[in-house]
């Protein structure tokens, strides 16, 4: 397989001011086309360090992608280092990037300064891919096979994440043009409701039946459950895709509704797919999740079509006065109880007139309530076929508990809506 | 300054499955005690790569911290690589870690397997710092100055973030014991309401007046505003702290209430400081922020003391029926208007009986409403001294707009409460 290194340049990463998210985005894109990332490296804004480290990486890998150090200020010295590494004697203006720089600054009502104009100046040893989202161009340096003993290319991208991300499809295209890559076929299935280890046990026999050339990966996430990724390297596209398809069809039989998507997805988008265009609506009554369910649902563009709103009833008085949870229910069963979860879900459904509703009441922590431990949540879902509740227990810190509660609630709502649809069809 | 390298080990980082957050947390902690991180490196679960890369890093740096590859499964081979790197001939059981492993598994109702027991076995060349949050111990390898030409120590931590984070204070203590470090004095001020460039302009004269040995850093963040960090390397603790104190006192004069904390902090914790113990309460009415304000407030432990709850009124009908926004107000001024923001804030305050309330109505995007552009928000704050509203405009994607709207709303609420307190005192 073609090998790659990723190198991020900038003191702000080394002092921990910034978490580097570019590298993982770039490596996912490379991996998807069959390029293996062997090393990731972060170094500071130091000319000699940049030159010597990139030289080493180009010795090891056919593809090196570096980000950062391309800003207009004095501490950004990547461009000069790349000029020296590639033996450039002069900088030339890239006219297309110069035009973009002018357009961007003019549209913001800013004057084009000397330092801005310099952004479009590049070493004469590189090719330019214009950057339409920023002032620093993407630069491509191709090295003769004699230099490193193998063909090698270096891509230089700005460190600003949205600019670096916008470059990824462009450099992937360039890589596909210039390298003969091993074809790779990936497919994902999103599963909610199983811990990673429990899922592995559940599908053990199926996993053992996978042919040698298929590789299965478990990718767990607090908010989205477990992503199962099946990959085949090499072979004929149509044939390999059919083989993966067949294996995934078996998994659908084993896991049923625990599978909520066969794309890279999350529960709030799965909810949108179930509700958009149906005229059905949802609402939420949140206690311990404190707005997170509502935030997740509304993070999806177009959610206003099916999402009416929510009540976050943190105080008991709000549960009673706004949601209409009877005082006696709270006194008799406690705030964190099946009965209160049910009453909250019914209350917000009545209040908003939604088709479905979901509710949470629990203990995100730190600390339990003396009876129930921290990490306990009661979830309620209400709809045309009545109200159901479930209890869940997690063992995380406050923020992760809130996320798990919210994801579980979205999943329970999703399953209710599916059952509701099925019962109408039957 | 003492130099350090951080090395993360694991295929899951190289294929982009995981974003490495350990490295930045570790480097912040090192930087705070005057250790300079010169390189960060990520490599795969490959024995020879691990040995040769760590050897190189130990040649360059006095301190190397590596995370990952310590799990109980076959693909985790860091421990064997470290044994070989350090010339260990045998593994010995660490009794304290063995007891912790047993306790953890027993408390989860799990059997202690051979693979679990192996977690407490370590190369005889290392010292162990027990890991109370997981099964793999923290290992410390100290190398004689002859080996690398300088004293060198290698710390090996598990890759699981909460375990790695829990190790940081312990290894910082160990580093302080074994190295003579340059003292470093940092102080932070949290500022909200200025873009980074506008803030730089506002405090330009002050910044120019800083003595040469003081270093100022701007650390901007969508949710928390700009963190200003002032640092001095070396010198006498009491004296340097007083000098920083004096400079920050001047900044308070320039920036006033835009400074919301002189610790590392966020707006929701600043709100807690203003409200806890006062008997005063808050509530929220959210439209475009969709629950994010409520989520931020309730992410703070103990927020139930002053936070009553919120209504997310995504649908117009909910604004009218639950919050009591008059239909005519919406028709006359539009949903995204000062009048609707005011009416929402007053509505939720009436509904919950809170002392203060905050509201948002706006366009998170994608797309505007034909009149107003995407990124527009009206924020309302209501309280004993009446209702105020403000408009803000941002130019980000949906999720970042939602975050900026929510942070602006929290900031406006915070300033209202401060003014309210002052007017009571006056």
- 3-state class of B50 per DSSP? helix
- 3-state class of B336 per DSSP? coil
Name chain B contacts of A279, Cβ cutoff 8 Å.
none
Nearest-Cα residue of chain B relative to residue A323: B322
DSSP state for residue A87 in the 8-state scheme: T
pLDDT for A304-357, tens place per residue? 999 999 999 999 999 999 999 999 999 999 999 999 999 999 999 999 999 999
Strand partners, A218: A228
Q: How confident is the model at residue A424 (pLDDT cuts 50, 70, 90)?
A: low
CA angle A95, A99, A101 (to 5 degrees): 115
Count Cβ–Cβ pairs < 8 Å, chain A vs chain B: 218
Pick A309's closest partner by Cβ from B16, B25, B313.
Answer: B313
Hey, what are A108's tokens? 């913001």
Name chain B contacts of A297, Cβ cutoff 8 Å.
290-291
Cα separation, A218 vs A229, in Å, equals 7
CB contact under 8 A, A299 and B398: yes
How far CA A173 is from CA of A29, A30, A169, A219, B109, in Å, comes to 11, 11, 6, 27, 51
Cα separation, B318 vs B327, in Å, equals 11
pLDDT of residue B424: 58
Residues 6+ apart with CB under 8 A from A127: A139, A140, A141, A142
Q: How confident is the model at residue A426 (pLDDT cuts 50, 70, 90)?
A: very low
pLDDT of residue B425: 45
Q: Torsion angle of alpha carbons B176, B179, B185, B189, nearest 10°?
A: -60
A19-22 long-range contacts (CB < 8 A, ≥24 apart) are: A19/B19, A19/B20, A19/B21, A19/B24, A20/B19, A20/B20, A20/B23, A20/B24, A21/A161, A21/B19, A22/A67, A22/A157, A22/A159, A22/A161, A22/A164, A22/A165
Nearest-Cα residue of chain B relative to residue A299: B399
Residues 6+ apart with CB under 8 A from B426: none
**Does residue B108 register a pLDDT over 90?**
no
pLDDT mean across residues, chain B? 93
- On whether the CB atoms of residues A142 and A63 are closer than 8 A, the answer is no
pLDDT of residue A270: 97
Pick B351's closest partner by Cβ from A28, A29, A322.
Answer: A322
CB contact under 8 A, B41 and A41: yes
pLDDT of residue A183: 81
Name the helix (H) or strand (E) containing B324.
none
Task: Flag whether residue A180 sits within 8 Å of chain B, measured between CB atoms.
Answer: no
Q: Which of B59, B289, B291 to mutate to test the interface with A (most CBs of A within 10 A)?
A: B291
CB contact under 8 A, B14 and A42: no
In this prediction, residues B125-145 reach a mean pLDDT of 95
pLDDT of residue B162: 85
Nearest-Cα residue of chain B relative to residue A53: B39
Task: Flag whether residue A286 sits within 8 Å of chain B, measured between CB atoms.
Answer: yes
pLDDT for B354-406, tens place per residue? 999 999 999 999 988 888 989 999 999 999 999 999 999 887 789 989 999 99
pLDDT for A131-159, tens place per residue? 998 889 999 999 999 999 999 999 999 99
Name chain A contacts of B393, Cβ cutoff 8 Å.
none
Hey, what are B373's tokens? 């552009």
CB contact burial A96-122 (16+ within 10 A = b; e otherwise): ebbebbeebbeeeeeebeeebbebbeb
Q: Which of A298, A373, A402 to mutate to test the interface with B (most CBs of B within 10 A)?
A: A298
pLDDT for A23-58, tens place per residue? 999 999 998 888 999 999 999 989 999 999 999 999
- 3-state class of B41 per DSSP? strand
In this prediction, residues A226-246 reach a mean pLDDT of 89
Share of residues in chain A with pLDDT > 70 (%):
99
**Does residue B426 register a pLDDT over 70?**
no
Q: Residue B91 CB: number of other CB atoms within 10 A?
A: 15
pLDDT of residue A379: 98
The top-scoring range by mean pLDDT among A176-185, A236-245, B385-394 is B385-394
Lowest pLDDT segment from B69-78, B88-97, B209-218: B69-78
CB contact under 8 A, A311 and B314: no
Cα separation, A58 vs A123, in Å, equals 18
Pick A38's closest partner by Cβ from B14, B31, B37.
Answer: B14
Cα separation, B204 vs A79, in Å, equals 29
- What global pTM score does this model have? 0.84
* DSSP secondary structure of A318-348: HHHHTT---HHHHHHH-SSSHHHHHHHHHHH
Name chain A contacts of B16, Cβ cutoff 8 Å.
23-29, 31, 37
Q: Which of A221, A318, A363, A396 to mutate to test the interface with B (most CBs of B within 10 A)?
A: A318
pLDDT for A13-31, tens place per residue? 998 888 899 999 999 999 8
Nearest-Cα residue of chain A relative to residue B16: A24
CB contact under 8 A, B291 and A298: yes
Closest listed residue to residue B265, CA positions, set B257, B276, B273: B273
Name the helix (H) or strand (E) containing A99.
helix A95-107
Cα separation, B400 vs B406, in Å, equals 10
Task: Flag whether residue B360 sits within 8 Å of chain A, measured between CB atoms.
Answer: no
Mind telling me how many Å the CA of A350 is from chain B's nearest CA?
11
Strand partners, B361: B378
DSSP state for residue A10 in the 8-state scheme: -
Name chain A contacts of B353, Cβ cutoff 8 Å.
317
- On whether the CB atoms of residues B390 and B378 are closer than 8 A, the answer is yes
Task: Flag whether residue A291 sits within 8 Å of chain B, measured between CB atoms.
Answer: yes
Name chain A contacts of B37, Cβ cutoff 8 Å.
14-16
Share of residues in chain B with pLDDT > 70 (%):
99
Nearest-Cα residue of chain B relative to residue A24: B16
Name chain A contacts of B18, Cβ cutoff 8 Å.
24
End-to-end CA distance of chain A: 51
Mind telling me how many Å the CA of A43 is from chain B's nearest CA?
5
Cα separation, B308 vs A299, in Å, equals 24
Which one is predicted more confidently, A393 or B310?
Answer: B310
Residue A407 backbone class (left: φ over 0; alpha: ψ -120 to 50; beta: rest): alpha
Backbone angles phi, psi at A246, to 5 degrees: -65, -45
Task: Flag whether residue A280 sits within 8 Å of chain B, measured between CB atoms.
Answer: no
CB contact burial A329-363 (16+ within 10 A = b; e otherwise): bbeebbbbbbbbbbbbbbbbbebbebbbbbbbbbb
Closest listed residue to residue B21, CA positions, set B29, A188, A106: B29
Q: Which of A61, A294, A322 to mutate to test the interface with B (most CBs of B within 10 A)?
A: A294
Backbone angles phi, psi at B277, to 5 degrees: 85, 0
pLDDT for A90-105, tens place per residue? 999 999 999 999 998 8
Task: Flag whether residue B317 sits within 8 Å of chain A, measured between CB atoms.
Answer: yes
Cα separation, A216 vs A203, in Å, equals 11
Cα separation, A104 vs B354, in Å, equals 46
pLDDT mean across residues, chain A? 93
How far CA B321 is from CA of A308, B118, B342, B400, in Å, comes to 12, 62, 16, 29
The rounded Cα A116 to chain-centroid distance in angstroms is 33
- On whether the CB atoms of residues A27 and A117 are closer than 8 A, the answer is no
- On whether the CB atoms of residues B34 and B182 are closer than 8 A, the answer is yes
Domains and CATH numbers, chain B: 2-178 (3.40.980.10), 184-261 (3.30.70.2860), 267-425 (3.90.950.20)
pLDDT for B20-52, tens place per residue? 999 999 999 998 888 999 999 999 989 999 999
Name chain B contacts of A303, Cβ cutoff 8 Å.
290, 314
CB contact under 8 A, A308 and B299: no
Task: Flag whether residue A231 sits within 8 Å of chain B, measured between CB atoms.
Answer: no
Pick B14's closest partner by Cβ from A20, A40, A284.
Answer: A40
| Model ipTM value | 0.83
Name chain A contacts of B395, Cβ cutoff 8 Å.
none
Name chain A contacts of B283, Cβ cutoff 8 Å.
318
Strands B63-67, B2-9: pairing is parallel
End-to-end CA distance of chain B: 51
CB contact under 8 A, A317 and B353: yes
Lowest pLDDT segment from A91-100, A411-420, B226-235, B354-363: B226-235
pLDDT of residue A192: 97
Task: Flag whether residue B210 sits within 8 Å of chain A, measured between CB atoms.
Answer: no
In this prediction, residues A191-210 reach a mean pLDDT of 90
**Does residue A125 register a pLDDT over 60?**
yes
Cα separation, B408 vs B410, in Å, equals 5
CB contact under 8 A, B219 and A17: yes
């Amino acid at each position: 397989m073609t090998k790659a290194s990723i190198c991020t340049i900038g003191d702000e990463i080394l002092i921990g001011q910034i978490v580097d998210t570019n590298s993982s985005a770039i490596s996912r894109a490379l991996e998807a086309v069959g390029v293996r990332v062997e090393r990731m490296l972060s170094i500071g804004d130091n000319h000699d360090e940049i030159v010597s480290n990139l030289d080493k990486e180009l010795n090891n890998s056919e593809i090196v992608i570096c980000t950062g150090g391309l800003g207009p200020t004095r501490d950004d010295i990547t461009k000069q280092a790349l000029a020296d590494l590639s033996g450039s004697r002069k900088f030339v203006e890239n006219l297309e990037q110069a035009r973009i720089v002018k357009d961007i600054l003019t549209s913001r009502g800013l004057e084009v300064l000397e330092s801005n104009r310099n952004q479009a100046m590049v070493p004469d040893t590189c090719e330019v891919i214009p950057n339409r989202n920023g002032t620093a161009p993407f630069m491509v340096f191709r090295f003769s096979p004699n230099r490193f003993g193998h063909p090698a290319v270096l891509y230089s991208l700005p460190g600003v994440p949205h600019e670096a991300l916008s470059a990824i499809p462009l450099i992937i295209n360039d890589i596909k043009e210039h390298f003969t890559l091993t074809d790779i076929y990936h497919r994902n299935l999103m599963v909610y409701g199983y811990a990673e280890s429990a899922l592995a046990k559940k599908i053990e026999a199926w996993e053992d039946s996978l042919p040698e050339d298929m590789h299965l990966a478990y990718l767990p996430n607090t908010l989205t459950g477990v992503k199962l990724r099946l990959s085949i390297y090499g072979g004929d596209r149509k044939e390999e895709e059919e083989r993966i398809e067949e294996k995934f069809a078996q998994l659908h039989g084993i896991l049923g509704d625990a599978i909520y998507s066969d794309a890279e997805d999350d529960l709030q988008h799965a909810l949108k797919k179930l509700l958009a265009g149906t005229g059905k609506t949802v609402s939420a009554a949140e206690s311990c999740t404190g707005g997170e369910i509502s935030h997740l649902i509304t993070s999806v563009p177009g959610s206003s079509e099916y999402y009416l709103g929510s009540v976050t009833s943190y105080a008991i008085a709000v549960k009673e006065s706004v949601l209409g949870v009877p005082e006696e229910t709270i006194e008799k069963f406690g705030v964190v109880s099946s009965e209160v979860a049910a009453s909250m879900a019914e209350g917000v459904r009545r209040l908003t007139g939604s088709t479905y509703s979901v509710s949470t009441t629990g203990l995100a922590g730190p600390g339990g309530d003396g009876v129930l431990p921290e990490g306990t949540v009661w979830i309620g879902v209400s709809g045309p076929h009545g109200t159901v509740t479930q209890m869940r227990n997690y063992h995380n810190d406050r923020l992760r508990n809130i996320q798990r509660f919210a994801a579980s609630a979205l999943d329970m709502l999703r399953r209710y809506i599916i059952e509701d649809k099925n019962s109408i069809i039957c």
